Amino acid sequence: MPGTRVHVLSMFMEWARNDPIRIFWLAGLAGTGKTSIAITLCRMLQDEPDIVLGGTFFCSRTANVTELTDARCILPTLAASLAGVSHVFAVTLAAALNKDSLAASKPISAQMNTLLQQPLSALSQSSPSIVFVVDAIDECSDENEVKKLLVAISTLACDANVKFIITSRPETHINASPISRIDRSSILRLHTIDIDEVTEDIRLYIHDAFSKQPLEKAWYTDSEVDLLTDLADGLFIFASTVIAYVLDSESVDDRAARLRTALFAMKASMVATGPLDAIYEFVLTRASSTAKVEPAELETTQKVLACILTAEAPLSITALANIIAENPDVLRASLRRLRAVVHVPDEAEELSLHAVHASFGDYLFERAADNLLIPSLLGDELLARGCLRIMREHLHFNVSQCYSSHELNPPAHSSTVPLSLEYACLEWAYHLVALEQPNDIEEELNDMFRSHFLFWLEVICILNEVQRAEAMLNLAASTVS
């Protein structure tokens, strides 16, 4: 990895070995390549004999996994990871958990003391450096919990050489935390690096991605790479999105045509929208060209995108299709032109249907042109109604297929619940409470729970989520009349 990134990674390695400061904060605006650098750094650390990669946590809004936006999940994850590579740490952690088995569910300050500070005290100063990597901490949903976590990290006291690499956008609540102080952190702000260095890095990145394709003839020129580099304006996410769009076709001629079309269209719209919005607008406009797509398919695509961006938990193509009463093949077809901005899994049951970058959702809900803008509550309404319909149609007596009502529900019985029904039973209330006019679906809600309430409880039990039942019912009761 040439250019700026080599320089940045070299800085990391020097800091990890020799700098007494415990925190390295890599700050950067959206799309500047923070996660890419973090992933590369983790790979490098795994090959270093004198540095231990203690654990990683990649926060993400787009993965639709609640835990990946919960700052309270970070320290337990890091502690479990380090226990897997350090026997001494694992033994001491086990002893600490024997005294406080609920430590992982406690406030962050208590987590730090039990899960990291106490066990780390067993490691000697001569032990190899331990590095934890926490990426995109700004994507955690609760700003107060993020602040508490950053305070806990900055005040960690132990003799072991333990360090934290944290990446984030320079959000106000993070700038106001201890990691922004130069006496507490080594700080590198990607958006302040000389633009010429970043531009050269992006040029090499694009050329490397294009040149690796095993095609029988050249399909791009150096001047096109240069133009794409200039249009990126320092944003790696722009370059990677264009690359994904261009390489989505296997034909040499199609790739060449896609590249030329993208460059021409974005060059024309860049001044008005900015680079990131320009590429999103281009991909969506091409995907929804009325010359190629029927109006019904356009409507389906908008609904599918709204649901993907709003989902509370990971969904597969099959599960989402079931919830919104759509054919899985039609759903997949509606996304086939959007692979540059949406990860569409190869397998229909794979739980990885999500937007590639969080900024795509921000664009669609907030800044897109009127013909592309998605109403902010469309996804919640579709998913709320879909969840109620799925439960009404598929909940029934003995849904868990137990042999006896006196038998405890073993974990194996959860396999009898399809993912669409599991999602519906666990997430319906959160979509309901998000609606501006939830009373509009009160009749559907009453219809489902008056006749299927006990069947719903049975599914909640076999999924081992009984503790969530009361909260969901309270949410619903406080939302509808």
| pTM of the full structure | 0.75
φ/ψ region of 397 (left if φ > 0, alpha if ψ in -120 to 50, else beta) reads beta
- The CATH classification of domain 4-192, taken from the options 3.40.50.150, 3.40.50.300, 3.90.1150.10, 3.30.565.10: 3.40.50.300
The SS3 assignment for 326 reads coil
Which residue's structure tokens are 């009373």? 439
- pLDDT for residue 14: 83
pLDDT in tens, 75-119: 999 999 999 999 999 999 999 999 999 999 999 999 999 999 999
Amino acid 7: pLDDT: 66
Q: Within its chain, how far is the Cα of 305 from the centroid?
A: 15
List b or e across 128-167, with b for residues whose CB sees 16 or more CB atoms inside 10 angstroms.
bbbbbbbbbbbbbeebebbbbbbbbbbebebebbbbbbbb
pLDDT of residue 13: 83
1.10.10, 1.10.8, 1.10.3470, 2.60.120: which CATH number matches 295-367? 1.10.10
Continuous segment of H or E residues that includes residue 56: strand 51-58
Question: How many Cβ atoms from other residues are within 10 Å of residue 415's Cβ?
Answer: 10
* pLDDT recorded at residue 2: 45
pLDDT in tens, 260-300: 999 988 887 765 567 888 889 888 888 876 556 667 777 88
pLDDT of residue 415: 62
- Spans of the chain below 50 pLDDT: 1-2, 412-413
> How would DSSP label each residue in 133-192?
EEE-GGG-S-HHHHHHHHHHHHT---SS-EEEEEEE---HHHHTSGGGSTTTEEEEEGGG
Of 20, 36, 264, which Cα lies nearest the Cα of 160?
20
Whether the Cβ atoms of residue 30 and residue 189 lie closer than 8 Å to each other: no
Amino acid identity of residue 405, one-letter, is S
For the chain, which residues make up each domain, given as ranges?
4-192, 195-287, 295-367, 380-479
Res 477: pLDDT: 86
Q: Same topology for domains 4-192 and 295-367, yes or no?
A: no
